[in-house]
Structure 1
């Protein structure tokens, strides 16, 4: 495959902070690269570097072919203008079912589809996608996968969606400790290789430490003998010279051994395996008295002469964990806005007047961008400030970010700032609109565990089925222009689902193992690749 792009010893420094360093990678035609890393690691910065929006602090970004074009679909845009919609773009929008309304009136998923269609329609040599599955429902994600697989050019994708990366990526770039690791294979194969490397490094480190301990013990023994010899050389007149020579010889041995040890460590020193990046937090609800949180009667909403839903009647009791499910553009966010009193509709919406609600919107631009966490979470006492700063540390922030303006933070870090408000203030109701968007994997998993243990009322909009299955027990489903309340599946059924998931995942790993020993030219490759994609799809649908 032709080489398109090279990063030659590239460093990127932002606001006197070295974000990326010693990057040496090549991008080839046809590559589908999955770029991963924790929130704030520099993923979006690297995409901007490749797209020419920023320059490296050191090193070069070298295009190997003439007249190379790129298209960059960013995570989020406050506004978007697409004046001349070409036929390919219009075709994609029609297949995705996106209405031709003003951009600001579209749902989060529809807005993303508009920008994705624009990117694909440009037919660039390198298509750059930053979190392209955020907001997308299942059907839209499957369509996106097909578009990527049918594309002839190169695609570079930032995503925290493991299944998505397994299906589309043939290379993984991982940013860890400011370095860029390049791996040939998909996400699962990278994580296996990474785990193997960490285990090997830990074994080598332990072996090295054992050897250092042995040498240090021997050095101590020699030093002890040397001290005794020096002491004897001052006491006994007849044998002074003998002990002095012996002491000098031992001193020389100590120096020699220590020098050899230092030289060996300089050449082959194995560092201790760094602890895995982790995120820890919990959310508590204040004690709630009363049964009902919300009651909806004969709710109806029409938008641009299109009925979103009608004849909607349901009640949410305190302590219920509700998943709101429906395709892009069905009105899920609109319903949340109605509950919060930010959107009008026909019918009746009653909310318990004593409810203390925390509402997490999809938006990442509704924070005061010039403010810092110190400003947002101002506390009078040193003890209270320490509590907030400790929470930031557990959420994966650096201590220096206490005084960092929100505008300089990644999208995932902005979402964490919004979550902090509900962690610090005990809300008895949490209404969360796509809470996992932009969050790295450790943060998603911790949020999942935290919400599963939360003792208040939960209302969640999400397209992540696994996340909803772990955190909710009741569904509000958008179907046939109305909203139906469905109770939790029986426990036995949920257990059976987990068992099936494990069986499918085991087979998927076996297929992946076989694929890793084949090339696309092998006869068995196509059938195995199709089986891998089918298994991935089945797992995602569970």
Structure 2
């Protein structure tokens, strides 16, 4: 059954076109992911479907035919006395409960996973997959989209398009589209080169007809060339026609956008100045409890070492102390060794940049350790390049968060602490940030619940669980203890089997094989 029908919809902001929707619908039980770059109009479209009121700045033409009972969970919720994850989970539970006994239900969810930890995300995935309620979901969480959606609405060139399939299938489709666009561009480029060569041949041939032959007067040359005049005219006409075609095809030739990963090969001297000897540790923390707000959050039960150039992802449920850990490392409050050359950069979404009249370009280039090309690439990835001449004080909230992130990751630091850096980024920016992390030359600890992002990084993981900080080393020690215990039990079992006359040889061999494997 058709719950929402859009025949035509045009959304303008301040007399400029934002978005057009043509012939789209939402049907019963359909789970749709709405994706697109930041600022493309996703939340605006969601609010129109949720029948929210708009200011006079917006002009909306067309209409939405609504045949459903809906519940809308916006991106920014009133915090109250609960954490972000708690209030998000409560709002989602209430929305599902509201529609449970209503016919033709539709859930409208704007970035539902942005405040949820991994356990809460899994809860939401199960909730949506079990439910028969249709959903339209704005999200930048690729793992979440792939787990729940069977259709994708994507915004391209200010229009909303439909793709029937999972997010993974959509991503493959887009990659194939990109390859096709690049192939077509290369073919058009080759054709244009052929036209240019042909034009040059015709042009040179036309010049020979207008040049006097050596030893002949002009009148003699003209009288001898009357028979060739027709050919000359044809060549000249062909040259003009080719010139017109070249100009036309040049104007139509548009290179598809290609993202080039930052290599940092051209970084300025700031990178060298921040280097720490590869034999040195950037950071070494002693065994200790981590306390905050008058209570113990977790224990560091083994010495923690962070090598120069190491990248770490720190995970754990909301409220276990991840942010507190980063803050105490930043402020050097935890007991341990901090390399004298250590310069720490800290990104937190709640940190407000001082409002100055400096432009974005002036502020960023003044502190960036990378060359102009790499710095501009970061700005492009965070969709800030077009605002380069804007004053910092004029940036919107979302732009300010992205600017803070750009300022930190390009800044004069050799240890970056990034707390949920992907929360306000779109999918293209998240993928670009993952590339940046991989090639970044210094140490980094980042907190994230975005499973697709973490998977892309392929770096060491630390976890806060059951009141303990579990580093890779700690987990290896724990595994070794488990193996030792299992080994002792197997040896005991082998002794018992050897004494048992009824024990089979195959069973004895199996136990021996397990012992050898553990040893």
What is the TM-score with the length of structure 2 in the denominator?
0.69
CA contact (8 A) 2:68 2:106 kept: no
CA contact (8 A) 1:415 1:438 kept: yes
CA contact (8 A) 1:7 1:60 kept: no
The alpha carbon displacement at 1:165 in A equals 1.5
Say whether residues 1:276 and 2:258 are aligned partners: yes
d(CA) in 2 for partners of 1:115, 1:273:
45
Report the equivalent of 1:6.
6
d(CA) in 2 for partners of 1:365, 1:61:
41
Q: Structure 1 regions of 5+ residues with no counterpart?
A: 82-101, 343-347, 494-542
Say whether residues 1:184 and 2:164 are aligned partners: yes
Report the equivalent of 1:37.
36
Report the equivalent of 2:66.
65
Report the equivalent of 2:110.
130
CA contact (8 A) 2:3 2:26 kept: yes
CA contact (8 A) 1:324 1:461 kept: yes
Match of 1:28 among 26, 51, 74: 26
The alpha carbon displacement at 1:242 in A equals 3.6
d(CA) in 1 for partners of 2:187, 2:474:
52
Q: Secondary structure at the match of 1:12?
A: strand
Match of 2:317 among 327, 346, 349: 327
d(CA) in 2 for partners of 1:214, 1:428:
51
The alpha carbon displacement at 1:415 in A equals 4.2
Say whether residues 1:141 and 2:140 are aligned partners: no
Report the equivalent of 2:465.
478
The alpha carbon displacement at 1:20 in A equals 3.4
d(CA) in 2 for partners of 1:272, 1:122:
50
d(CA) in 2 for partners of 1:207, 1:116:
50
Matches within 5 A, 1:531-542: none
d(CA) in 2 for partners of 1:250, 1:444:
56
d(CA) in 2 for partners of 1:382, 1:485:
31
C-alpha distance 324-224 of structure 1, shift in aligned 2 (>3 A): closer
Q: Secondary structure at the match of 1:155?
A: strand
Say whether residues 1:200 and 2:186 are aligned partners: no
Matches within 5 A, 1:346-357: 349-350=334-335, 356-357=343-344
The alpha carbon displacement at 1:172 in A equals 1.6
CA distances 1:374-408 after superposition (whole Å, capped 9, x unpaired): 39927779999968963654544354312165775
CA contact (8 A) 2:347 2:421 kept: yes
The alpha carbon displacement at 1:170 in A equals 1.9
CA distances 1:162-205 after superposition (whole Å, capped 9, x unpaired): 23212212222223344433212122222222233333344444
What is the TM-score with the length of structure 1 in the denominator?
0.66
Report the equivalent of 1:429.
415
Matches within 5 A, 1:32-431: 32-51=31-50, 52-54=52-54, 60-65=61-66, 69=70, 71-74=72-75, 76-77=76-77, 79-80=78-79, 102-103=81-82, 106=83, 108-123=84-99, 125-231=105-211, 235-236=220-221, 238-239=223-224, 241-255=226-240, 271-278=253-260, 280=262, 285-287=274-276, 293-295=284-286, 297-300=288-291, 309=297, 313-319=301-307, 322-339=312-329, 349-350=334-335, 356-361=343-348, 363-364=349-350, 366-367=352-353, 374=360, 377=363, 390=376, 392-402=378-388, 403=390, 409=396, 411=398, 413-431=399-417
Report the equivalent of 1:88.
none
d(CA) in 2 for partners of 1:12, 1:369:
30
C-alpha distance 405-111 of structure 1, shift in aligned 2 (>3 A): farther
d(CA) in 1 for partners of 2:369, 2:313:
37
d(CA) in 2 for partners of 1:254, 1:373:
50
CA contact (8 A) 1:9 1:58 kept: no
The alpha carbon displacement at 1:61 in A equals 4.4
CA contact (8 A) 2:185 2:256 kept: no
d(CA) in 2 for partners of 1:370, 1:156:
39
d(CA) in 2 for partners of 1:365, 1:7:
43
CA contact (8 A) 2:289 2:296 kept: no
Q: Secondary structure at the match of 2:66?
A: coil
d(CA) in 2 for partners of 1:349, 1:198:
48
The alpha carbon displacement at 1:213 in A equals 4.3
Report the equivalent of 1:522.
none
CA contact (8 A) 2:12 2:19 kept: yes
Q: Structure 2 regions of 5+ residues with no counterpart?
A: 213-217, 480-519
CA distances 1:235-281 after superposition (whole Å, capped 9, x unpaired): 53545654444433444455566668889x69xx9744513345637
CA distances 1:120-154 after superposition (whole Å, capped 9, x unpaired): 44539543323322342333212212322344444
Question: How many pairs are equivalent?
Answer: 450
d(CA) in 1 for partners of 2:125, 2:318:
17
CA distances 1:344-366 after superposition (whole Å, capped 9, x unpaired): xxxx94365755332222x3574
CA contact (8 A) 2:35 2:153 kept: yes
Query: What root-mean-square deviation, in Å, do the aligned CA atoms of Structure 1 and Structure 2 show?
Result: 4.5
CA contact (8 A) 1:395 1:416 kept: no
CA contact (8 A) 2:282 2:306 kept: yes
d(CA) in 1 for partners of 2:59, 2:350:
31
C-alpha distance 71-369 of structure 1, shift in aligned 2 (>3 A): farther
Q: Secondary structure at the match of 1:432?
A: strand
**Worse overlay, 131-140 or 308-317:** 308-317
CA contact (8 A) 2:139 2:145 kept: yes
d(CA) in 1 for partners of 2:196, 2:439:
50
d(CA) in 2 for partners of 1:219, 1:252:
11
CA contact (8 A) 1:473 1:487 kept: no
CA contact (8 A) 1:358 1:431 kept: yes
